[in-house]
Amino acid sequence: MSKLFVICGHGAGDPGACANGYQEAERVRVLGKRIKELGGNHVILGDMSRNYYADNGISSLTISKDYQIVELHMDSAAATARGAHVIIKGGLDPDKYDIALAKFVSGMFPGRSISISKRGDLANPARAYAKGYAYRLIECGFISNADDVKVFNSGIDKLAKGILKCFGIGVQATTTSTEVKPVVKPSPTVKKTVEQIAQEVLAGKWGNGNTRKQKLKAAGYDYNTVQAKVNELCGVKTKPTTAKPKPVAPKKQTVTLPASAPTWRVYPLNVAPVVGNECGMLAPARYNGLTYEILAKPQKNVVTIQTQTFGKVNIYVGKGTGAIIK
C-alpha cells in the first residue's frame, strides 16, 4: 500500500479556471479534503491555503521519498472540450500508478484521445523530479464543460475512492450524511452549526449561487455567515460582509485562443509585445483551444492573462489572429 501526498492546485487568491458557476481552486479542495477523509493516515493533504505552484512549495517538501504526489486540477477550454487525463514530466515513462489513474479518470470523464500527457513546460513536475519525488498531475475533467462539472459534483466520493484505489489505499471507516437515515419528525428547534452547514455546502448539498442562498434562507441560515465559513475552510480570506446580499459583479471578459493555432507567443509585462521579445509559447491546438480571463488591456490588441507555466503575461489578440474576446 502506498502513501499519498495530495496537492490542491491554485489557491492563495488564485481561483484557477472559472466556469459554470464554479472556481477550480474551490472544487479541487473539496475533492482533496474528501481523499484525505477516506484515505485516513495513508494520506497527507497539502496546506490548502497555499499555492504550491506560485510559492515553489514542492521544492521545500521534506516528506519521505516513498510518498506518491498527486496534484489536483480541472482543465478549461472551449465549452465542448471534455475529458480527464494524467500529466507526467516529459522524458519519463508512466509508472503503474500513472497508468491506473489514467484508465480510471478517463473512464469517469471520457473525451480525450490521450489519457497520459508528457509535459516538459510545467514547473511542478520538474521540481518534484529534482527532489526525487514520484509526481503526477490529474486534470479532473473540464470546468468549462457543463457535463464534466456535473460528473465531478455528483461523483466526488467516487472520484476520491477511485484515486485512492489506484494507489492501493482502501477507504477508511467514515460517517457521512448518506449513511444516516433521516428521522420521520425532526425537531424544529434543532439546527446544525455553521461549520456543519459549510461542510455540506462544500460537498455540494446546498446547490450553487441563488439556489444556495434560497435554500439556506428557507432552512433558517444566514447565507453570508455560512459562505464566510466556507471560504475559511478553503483557506480563502474574506472581508466581513453585511447580511444584505451584494449586487452581482459584472461578468469578466475572457479571451479564447483557437484550436487551429499550434502556438501562441507570450510576452513579459515590461516589454513590447513584438516578435523577438516573447518569453515562451502556449499550445492552443494541444488542448482544443485555451480560454483565459482577461486581467487587463494595457494597449490596443494586447491583453494580460495569468498562465500556469509563465505566470502573468501579455499576448497579442489583434485582427487576423483568431482570438475571440467575450
Residue 177: per-residue pLDDT:
41
Q: What is the model's pLDDT at position 100?
A: 96
Do residue 75 and residue 115 come from a single domain? yes
Does 274 fall in a domain?
yes
Name the residue with higher pLDDT: 167 or 220: 167
Torsion of CA 46, 62, 60, 279, to 10 degrees: -80
- At 27, the pLDDT band (50, 70, 90 cuts) reads very high
Q: Which residue has the cell 507555466?
A: 309
Q: How many residues make up the chain in this entry?
A: 326
pLDDT confidence bin for 183, thresholds 50/70/90: very low
CB 294 within 8 A of CB 307: no
| Mean pLDDT on 191-208 | 85
Q: Verify that 57 and 116 share a domain, yes or no.
A: yes
Same domain, residue pair 53 and 192: no
| Position 211 confidence tier, pLDDT thresholds 50, 70, 90 | confident
Would 128 be classed as within a structural domain? yes
pLDDT at site 84? 97
Structure confidence at residue 210 as a pLDDT band (50, 70, 90): confident
pLDDT digits (tens, 9 = 90+) for 55-107: 999 999 999 999 999 999 999 999 999 999 999 999 999 999 999 999 999 99
Query: In this model, does residue 315 exceed pLDDT 90?
Result: yes
- Same domain? 208 vs 153: no
What does the mean pLDDT of the chain come to? 88
* 21 vs 191, higher pLDDT: 21
- Per-residue pLDDT at 186 exceeds 60: no
Integer Cα distance of 93 and 100 in angstroms: 13
Task: Summarize pLDDT for 294-314 with one digit per residue, the tens.
Answer: 999 999 999 999 988 888 999
Q: What are phi and psi of 271, to 5 degrees?
A: -130, 165
CB neighbours of 288 closer than 8 A, spacing ≥ 6? 77, 78, 80, 81, 259
Question: Which range (58-67, 234-243, 244-253, 303-312) has the least confidence?
Answer: 234-243
In the chain, how many domains are there?
A: 3
Spatial distance between the Cα atoms of 70 and 163, rounded to a whole number of angstroms: 9
How far is Cα 218 from Cα 197, in angstroms, rounded to an integer?
13
CA distance 272 to 41: 52
Measured between alpha carbons, how far is 57 from 51 in angstroms, rounded to an integer?
8
Q: What is the DSSP string of 225-255?
A: HHHHHHHHHTT-------SSPPPPPPPPPEE
CB neighbourhood size of 103 (10 A): 15
Confidence of residue 220 (pLDDT cuts 50, 70, 90): confident
Q: Does residue 244 belong to any structural domain of this protein?
A: no
What is the structure's pLDDT at 180? 42
Domain containing 200 equals 182-233
- Where is average pLDDT lowest: 26-40, 58-72, 246-260, 310-324? 246-260
Share of the chain above pLDDT 70, in %: 90
Same domain, 36 and 101: yes
Instruction: Calculate what percentage of the chain has a pLDDT beyond 90.
Output: 64
Is the same domain home to 156 and 33?
A: yes
Where on the phi/psi map is residue 44: left (φ > 0), alpha (ψ -120 to 50), or beta? beta
CA nearest neighbour of 273 among 224, 230, 323: 323
27 and 105 inside one domain: yes
CA 35 – CA 29 distance, rounded (Å): 10
pLDDT band at 239 (very low <50, low <70, confident <90, very high): low
**161, 188: one domain:** no
CATH code where residue 59 lies:
3.40.630.40
| 213 DSSP 8-state letter | H
Bridge partners (DSSP) of residue 315 are 303
pTM, to two decimals: 0.56
At 22 the three-state DSSP class reads strand
